[in-house]
Each structure stands twice: as structure tokens, then as C-alpha cells.
Amino acid sequence: MNKTIVIAVAYILAVSCSNDTNTTTKLNDYLFTLVSPKESKVDFSNILIEDADLNIINYIYYYNGGGVASGDINNDGLPDLYFVSNTGKNKLYLNKGNLKFEDISKSSNCEGKASWNTGVTMIDINNDGYLDIYVCAVSGFLDFTGHNELFINNGDNTFTEKSEAYGLDFKGYSTQAYFFDYDKDNDLDVYLVNHAVHTTLNHCEASLRHKKAPYVGDVLLNNRNGKFVDVSDSANIYGGINGYGLSAAIADYNNDGWDDIYVCNDFHEDDYYYINNQDGTFTEKLKDNFSAISRFSMGSDAADINNDGYQDIITLDMLPKDERTIKETEGDESMFNVQLRLKKLGYKDQFSRNMLQMNTSGSYFTETAFLNTVANTDWSWSPLFADLNNDGYQDLFISNGIQKRPNDLDFKKYVASAFKGRSEKEGIQWLYNSISEMKSGEIPNEVFEGDAKRFKNRTGQWIEAEPNLSNGAIYVDLDRDGDLDLVTNNFGHTANIYENKTNGSHNHITLKFHYKGNNIEGIGTKAIVYSNRQKQLKQVFKSRGFLSSVESRLHFGLANATQIDSIVTIWPNNTYSTITNPTINQTVSITYQDSLNIYKYSTQENKPPLFTKENLIDFTHKEDSYNDFVEEKLIPYKVSNLGPALAVADISGNGFEDVFIGNSSGQPAKLYMNSGKGFTISHQEAFINDSNYEDNDAVFFDADNDGDLDLYIASGVNEHKIIALQENRLYLNENGVFKRTKNKIPSNTFISTSVAANDYDNDGDMDLFVGNLAHSEDFGPPVPSHLLKNDGSGNFSIDLNFKLNTKVNQAIWKDINNDNTDDLLIATEWDAPKVYINKNGQLKPLSLPDELHGLWQTVSTFDFDNDGDEDILLGNWGLNTKFSLNFDGPLHLYHFDFDGNGKPESLLAYNRKEQYYPLNSKDEMASQMNAINKLFIDHKSYAGKPLDQIIDTKSINASLQLKVDLLASGYLRNDDGQFNVFVNFPDAFQLAPITSFNSFNINKVDQLLVGGNSFRVNTYHGAYSAFKGLIASGETNFNSVINYGIAPFNEQIKQTQCIKMKDKNLLLILSNNDTLQTYSYQN
């Protein structure tokens, strides 16, 4: 009886639900509207019948879906559509105009014969003016037969399969083909992306990629008079067993006129970045040019999205957006051990999220997906950059969805749990049956609007946010109305055709190219459109996104511009032609002519760089093996690797500043004496004796008023967390020998991060501010920091009038009110920065704007708005962080002994639509609080629950609560001595935590050198290394350090410092766990 009721209720619910959806789909104000298959007659669906012999268990890419290609196969001016069916017949639809199509699959004879089809490209391979079709296949795996097929267009809407004649009948595990002319011999070669199928996770050395694996390894085929020949070996293309190749993005990334290749590899294999050596070979340079890449790289695309003339890259991954799904599936947070293992084996840092890699003048890429809100589109396949609203900027479409989520944690632990009492065969059948218990991964496709600065999510506005399963996708102007429509190949459902309703609201132009030789489509041609005081660059390649290919014409939106100043076409042979003032809102054909001039890419000017690399000090900071995360399992970042310490002063009195660098525990600090020409190490017994201390910060000052410079060192967490070795230290200078003092400074065993000397009480001796960050056993709570008063002979005592309980990262003395007395500026985290005005030895806090709690890393002053007074610069966490995914309100930290075991926990919770959710997964929480395992016996009962349904409200209310109001770095604007306004730095400064400001004078201009990055974070975050260093003279004038001859900052910058030498200046760049970099410059 019960059952009947349940069914009845379910029926009512279902009925009412479907009614709801019916009414909502009637709303038709989307930029893109779905054309119904009834109207279009495009009824293709990629139908698969999963059974015990063929399913996600025995073929890991069973849910990857098929591609879609567009091109005008009958030269009637209308682009036709070809859809790949994995196991069924492929389909070809003729475009009859007005978004009506005719299925000519059968008569055209191009349905395909392979057992498993994947990607498709329409390409005129024989240059007869008719588009041919190349379809990739998986063959030789399981019982899959067949090979990649080439359907040659007979010119009469029929095709003949001729792959063998061309040498394109590749038999292996192909994903997609990328046609391009890499050797510039005026024919089309092809890079075939193939994929591994093996499932062992006994990770081998990364160097395995050098060992060719047939079927699996990617291949580069060179076109020799119409016959394709494998040249992978001689061209230096990897082809290893680990190559889980799922896509590639071809483009001339470094603007040298030769086309390069970015290959996306799934799982632990790195992506590949092949730079074309212009001699028929490539050099793989991922490690030199990228900091972090997608872990499960799927589809990709390349385009210049910020109009700087260099093509950028997006790679897709599978980071979920939905709070429930995040907590129900395995994410990066559980990858700590694997990550370390892979690093040892030679793999790159990889994180499971989309990566938006911005190309910086072809020299390196900075990853900005979080800043652009495109990092987490869930299980994503095909990204496409295109101007979807014709406003002159590249937008982004992403196809989404997976039939079943095989990485569901409950499924792993509690559903598909055993073969229990079954033979292997029965076991497989049983496992197969378990697939039906996996959760569906239907999710909406997503679309983002671009403005060359940041993407904004327009899902639900431009397209309907309707869950689906879309794999291959293309943009194509199907109705030739000047805007790009979208087509997706759907898994188990009818294909989507999205009609773009931009129509005439913005201007546009489409370019069609006719090149020479055996590349008449002009694959590789670039066009630069100059209009509206900006330039748009695009390059012709067909295969894009995932498994799919677009037309060879280039589409440009022009917004409201009524004319184009000029169009420069750079042909594959790097000659160029220019068109001025073409007629817009139409398709313009551009035909190659011989004897054009060679195009000169306006790359680096030839003047010598301002900075020259030097090697004057040989120092390497080496972190010890202490690991905060094994001690406190829920903390977001380490507080044990805050070194090295740097102090600079003229100790010897020769007029040149000497350099002290404190190391991490286990390594002695070093003192380098400066002769003006070079440095010699000063042997100091005391530093060797104290090498087990961790040095976080240091200052030279005259402690005992004897006229020479003494040294105070702020200590951090040492390798074995021995409390006695966390004491700060004072060393007195006795004729150049530094001797450790006893009982002259108050005991301080907190993690000290900052020491700054100043005679704040104006009594003729130097006093100190010592800033503390945390207790080494307890991440969360604030700790006291102190002013230490000097009694005149080097005995220091705490100034009891000054009370500060916070988490200090850095502090400086600086006169900010022009009263000739230095004031105290403090960068704090989980708190607002502190500014104390010194009035006759009394430090009075200055009132600052509200809601300024941040993760302030560093503080300095500089006239950033160029109005003549110094502003207060504050380095924060930045906006390109996983924290920013869930930041609808302040980030919270709760500190309390939640499980009542005598040890308090520091719990982070993020704000999603005004609800606070725990940042940590159930397993992470349980690793610190065993009770969680009893309260939540599976992942689904924990997932999607706000914090107050996980931890009892009483404990939450009793806990110490800290918050972060903002993540952006910026400055407190000096308005006539008032600092009432906080101004965000430009986006270029928000790419990672800023940890260092340093001002110097170059060419008689005050310049600011800004450094940052953080590798202190746990694997939930990954690593923040996108801030490559900027030199700025103000908020509107800044440049990458590479423009000055300084290598990009790939490490975690601790501090930079300038020192005068006899005939030049020296810049020191100190990073955590890295070698000191030195540069010389003249000013």
C-alpha cells in the first residue's frame, strides 16, 4: 500500500514538474534560442547502448561523445552539418536555408564504417574546391574495428572513402585530427591526437612519454605530395603510453609566423606545448611557459581574447559548481599524496579546474580562470572563443555534461563495493549493473560574455540553463545573418542548434580566404581587424574545442563601429596584404597574390634591457620537511614556510650595504660583506650554531648604542617544532662578530613574521616592533604582537601601553602624515590592516574604512594615483583564487574545540548566497573530528549542508570567529592625510597573493616592483603562481618585469631589495625555497 502512495506522489510531482518546465521554456528572451528538431529536421542524436560488453568500465572514454563539423560541402553558400555517432551511423545534413536541413547521410555515402567514431574535420584535402570529411576512430581496442576515414567529396553530394590512398587510414585510438602546414611547404599536414586507454594508476616516470606507444601516442603526419607520412620521431613529438590526448589547440603562440601546438592530456600526463622550431621540428616547452595546467584536460581553444595580439588558451576540466556535487565527488583536496608523487616523477603541477592561460607576449602564460569566473563549469568538454554578440570581444561557450558521474565518492565506497562471490565475468556484469546507481551528470551548457578584460557568466541569460549532455560543439553562422549560431552533438539526445538572435543589432564582418598551392582554404592565415581603436586578431584553423571543426572563414563583431580602418591578412607564408575601409556587415573574400611583403611582427624592440642578470651572491633558500597539514588537517595554508629573512645594512662602514639572509631550519644563515664590487661571506659562528632556527625576518640596528649594527631575527616554525627553537634572537655586533645575547629580549615563541626598528619614543635608542602571526600549534586565533622598548643599553621590554592582538604578516615604520615621525603600518590576516600614528611616542590607531578584513600579506607606501602624496599599498590574497568561487559574503574562520577533545579546530566556511558552507570535504573534516564519521555515514548526507547543519549552532556561537571581507589587493588612498577610501589595484595585480612591494628609481622615475605568489596553500587551492611580477609607476602605468629584462617570477617571492654598488645598482629577488636572483641596473 505504501508503495502505491509513493508512486502516486511521485507521479503528481513529476506531472507538476513537467508543467513548470513547459511554462519556463516559453520565455524567449535569450540571445540564443533552441531551434526544434521538428523545424530544422536535424534529428541527429548520439545514441549509445551501454551493455556489459561495452561501457564506462571497460572503455574509460565511453561517455566522451562525438564531434560535429560544419562547412559548405556543395558550395551553395550555406554551411552544412556533419555529426559523429560513436557507435551508430554518422549523419550529414544539407543546409537548405532558414535553418532548415535535409538529411543526405545515406545517399552521400559518408556514414562511416568504424566501430567507434570520435572527432570530425571538414577540410578540402585535395584542394579541388570541395570540402572533404575526415572522421577519427578508435580501433584495435576491445573488439573495435575500422580506421580513421577520409570521405572525398565527389562534387555531387556524394563521397568516396579514400583514406588509404592518402595514408590517412590511421588505426589506433584517435580523438581528433588537426590539419595545418607546420613546415610551410604549402600543403596541409596533420597532428593526430590519440588517447591512452589503460587504467593502471601505478604512475611511472614522466619520461615515459618519450617511449613511443603504437595506437596510443599522438602522431604528426607530414604531407608528401598527397601522401601522409609519420614524422613524429624526427619532429620530436611525444607518443607515450600515458598520452591521454583529448584535444589540441593550434596557433602561432609566440608570433614568430610558425604554428605551434598545445595538446590537452587527461589524467596525470602533462599537457604538451610544442613550439615550432621552423625547421620541421618542435620543442616541447610546457614547463618553461606555464605554471599550472588542468589535471583532467579535455577540450581546448585558442584565440586572442584581450586584443594584445597574442593568442590565449583555455583548457577544460571538471571542477563542479554545484555545492552538493563538490562535496559528493572526489576533488583536488584529496590529491596531496598523489601530487607530491607526481612531482617526484617529473610531472607538472596540475589541478582539476578549467585554466584560462593568458599569453604574455609569447614569453609565458598566466592562468586567470578564477578571476574570470570560468574555472568551474563542472564536467566540461568543448570551449569555443567567438564573438557571440558581435560587440568586438571574444565570448566563451562551454559544452557540458556527463551521462554518469563515475567519481562519486559514495558510489566508490558504498555502492560498487565488491565482486563478492562472483567469477570475474559475473563480477564485470555486477559492476556493469552498478552503473545504473551512479549519479547523472546532466548540467547546463555555459556561456560567458567577454570584454577583453574579464568574462562574465551569461548562462541563463544568453542561453537557457537547461541540464543536458553536450560534447562536441561548433559556432557557425548557419543562416548567414552575420551572427554565429551554435551547434552541439549531444549524448543520447537530439543535437542542439542554438540560433543567435543578435541579428542586426551590432555590426560585423566575415572574411573568407583563398590561398595558394595545396592549401587553398588558407589554413593558418591570420587576420587583424583594426576598428574602434582596437585590433582583433584571429587565425584560421578548423578543429577547435572538442572533437569538432568550424568553417575556415573568420567572423569579427564590430559593435557599433560603422567602418573598419583596415584589415591586415597575414598569409601562411608570412606575406601580408592590407584592405582599407571594406564594406561591413557582409562576407568579404580575400585572395592571395604573389610578391607581397613579409609581415614584421612588432615584437620586442631591440634596445638592451634595463636589468642584466648577475650572479654576485650564491644563496639558495631550502625549506625543511615540516608539514603543517599533517598537524592541523583543516588549515588552508601553511604558516611554516615564511622565510627567507633578509636584512641589509652597511655593517663594515665602507659605504656599501652588506646582506644578511636567514635560512630555514637546518640551514645556516649567511652574511655577505659588500666591497662595492662584489661580496664575500663573513663566517659567523653564532649563525652556524643557530642553524636549526627558522628565520622569517631580520633587521640590522644599533641595539646597544655602541655605534655598530646589531641584528634581531624573528623566528618561525622549525622542522621538529621544538619550542625553544622558536625564540626570537638578538645578536650583538662585537667588532664584526655577531654574538647571541641572553635575556636581553622578552621571550617570544610565536611564529614571528616581522621585525622593524625605530626610535618611536624618541629617547635616542632604537626600539622594535615585533609582529607575530600565530601559535605554532594552533592556526586560527590571533596572538599578541609587541613594541619592545630599548633601555638604552640593549635591554628590551614590552611597552605595556601598546596592545595588539592580531595576526601580523609584515610591518614597517613610515611617516605618513609628514610630521617627521615615523608611523607604524601593519599588514595582518583575518583582520583589517593597522595604521598607528606616532604622536610623541604614543601610537594611536588611525581609523580606516570599514569591512577591510583581508589576508594582508604586505604593506608599503607609494604615490600610486600619482597625485603627489604617498598612498598605503596593501598586498592581499588577490582575486584569482579558489576562495573567490564562493565569496557572496565574507569568508569565515571558526575557532573552537568543536568535538570537545581538548584540541581546538580552525574551520573555514564560505558564503554562497548568504549561507555558510564548510570549505572542507567530509573526509577532511573527519580526519580532524572523528565524530563527523558517525554523524554523516556517507558523503551525500554531508553534501550541500550549511555549516550549522554539520556543527551544532551552540558550538558555532561559542567559537571565535574571524573573517575576510575582501580578497583584492589595493591601496588606501591618501586624501590630504586621510585614508578613508580603499581602491582595488587593476586586475593585473590580482592574479595571486602579493607578498612584496619595493620602490626604486629607474630613469629618474619612482617605480614600484611588485612580487607575489603562494605555494603555501593546500591541494584544495593547488598553487598560486600567476603573478609574474610587475613594475609600476602608478595605477595606469605598469608593465611585466620581462619588459625590463627580469625573468618572470615563477616562485613565491619573499622580498626584493635594491643595493648600491660602486658603479651600478643591484636588485636582489628572494623567494621561498629557491635560489636568490640578482640583477644589475643603472638609474
Residues in contact with another protein by the rule CB under 8 A: 2, 56-58, 60-61, 199-205, 208, 267, 296, 330, 337-338, 340-341, 406-407, 411-422, 427, 431, 434, 625-627, 629-631, 633, 899, 901-903, 927-930, 933-934, 937
* 849 vs 870: CA distance, rounded Å: 17
CA dihedral 480, 486, 492, 493 (to 10 degrees): -60
In the bound state with another protein, the residue whose beta carbon lies nearer, of 666 and 784, is 666
Shortest spacing between CB 63 and another protein, in angstroms: 9
For residue 895, the minimal CB distance to another protein (Å) is: 15
Three-state secondary structure call for residue 690: coil
Nearer to another protein, 58 or 1039 (CB): 58
H/E stretch holding 773 reads strand 767-774
Residue closer to another protein (CB basis): 396 or 402: 402
Torsion of CA 941, 945, 948, 949, to 10 degrees: -30
User: Taking Cα atoms as reference points, which of 293, 271, 287, 453 lies closest to residue 367?
Assistant: 293
- Closest approach of Cβ 930 to another protein, in Å? 4
CA 117 → CA 62, 166, 210, 313, distances in Å? 11, 19, 27, 26
Quick one: 99 or 204, whose CB is closer to another protein?
Answer: 204
The distance of closest approach from Cβ of residue 379 to another protein in the complex, given in angstroms and rounded to an integer, is 9
Nearest distance in Å: CB 1015, another protein: 13
Tell which residue, 177, 179, 217, 210, has the closest CA to residue 195. 217
Smallest separation (angstroms) from another protein to the CB of 292: 20
Q: Give the nearer residue to another protein in terms of CB position, either 713 or 1017.
A: 1017
Nearer to another protein, 725 or 1041 (CB): 725
Buried b (16+ CB within 10 A) or exposed e, 341-380: ebeeeebbbbbbbbbbbbbbebbbbbbbbbbbbbbbbbbb
CA–CA distance, 1013 with 1051 (Å, rounded to integer): 7
User: C-alpha grid cell for residue 347?
Assistant: 610531472
Judge whether 744 and 794 are in contact, CB under 8 Å: yes
Please state, in angstroms and rounded to a whole number, the distance separating the CA atoms of residues 972 and 859. 10
Closest to another protein by CB, 640 vs 741, is 640
Among left, alpha and beta (phi > 0; psi -120 to 50; other), residue 1051 is beta
Angle (nearest 5°) at CA 671 between 670 and 672: 115
Q: To the nearest whole angstrom, how small is the minimum distance from the Cβ of residue 337 to another protein? A: 4
Beta-sheet strands, E only, within 139-235: 149-153, 159-161, 174-180, 189-194, 219-224, 227-230
Task: Choose between 17 and 415: whose C-beta lies nearer to another protein.
Answer: 415
In sequence order, the 6+-apart residues with CB closer than 8 A to the CB of 148 are: 114, 134, 135, 136, 137, 163, 168, 169, 170, 171, 174, 177, 192
Identity of the amino acid at 950 = I
**Given CA atoms 166, 167, 170, 174 in this order, what sign does their dihedral have?**
negative
The nearer residue to another protein, 283 or 417, going by C-beta atoms, is: 417
The nearest distance, CB 628 to another protein, in angstroms, is 10
Helix (H) or strand (E) holding 672: strand 670-674
CB of 937 to another protein, least distance (A): 5
Residue 90 Cβ vs another protein, minimum distance, rounded to whole Å: 25
* 3-class secondary structure, 997: strand
Phi, psi of 39, rounded to the nearest 5 degrees: -70, -50
**CA nearest to 284, candidates 293, 292, 273, 270:** 273
The arrangement of strands across the sheet holding 272-276 comes to 245-251, 260-265, 272-276, 282-284
Whichever of 423 and 818 has its CB closer to another protein, that residue is 423
Cβ proximity to another protein, 591 vs 901, nearer residue: 901
Q: How far is the CB of 415 from another protein (least distance, A)?
A: 8
Cα–Cα distance for residue pair 525/589, rounded to 1 Å: 13
CA proximity to 84, closest of 37, 134, 123? 134
Closer residue to another protein (CB): 822 or 938: 938
CB closer to another protein, 202 vs 818:
202
Q: How far apart are CA 702 and CA 757, in angstroms?
A: 9
Question: Which of 407, 990 has the CB closer to another protein?
Answer: 407
Shortest distance, CB of residue 321 to another protein, whole angstroms? 18
Minimum gap (Å) between residue 294 Cβ and another protein: 14
Residue closer to another protein (CB basis): 64 or 108: 64
Cβ at position 318, least distance to another protein in Å: 8
Determine the Cα–Cα distance for residues 637 and 630; give it in Å rounded to an integer: 12
> Closer to another protein at the Cβ: 794 or 1022?
1022
Least distance (Å) from another protein to the CB of residue 194? 16
Q: Which of 754, 969, 997, 759 is nearest to 880 (CA)?
A: 969
d(CA 229, CA 279): 17
CB of 1023 to another protein, least distance (A): 16
Query: Residue 724 in 3-state DSSP?
Result: helix
Distance CA 823, CA 816 (A): 6
Q: What is the DSSP string of 426-463?
A: HHHHHHHHHGGGSPEE-B--EEEE--SS--EE-BTTTB
What SS3 class is residue 912?
strand
Find the shortest distance in angstroms from Cβ 2 to another protein: 8
Instruction: Work out the number of other CB atoms within 10 angstroms of the CB of residue 416.
Output: 19
Give the three-state DSSP class for 354: coil
Task: Give the shortest CB-1047-to-another protein separation in angstroms.
Answer: 27
CB-nearer residue toward another protein: 338 or 568: 338
287 or 633: CB nearest another protein: 633
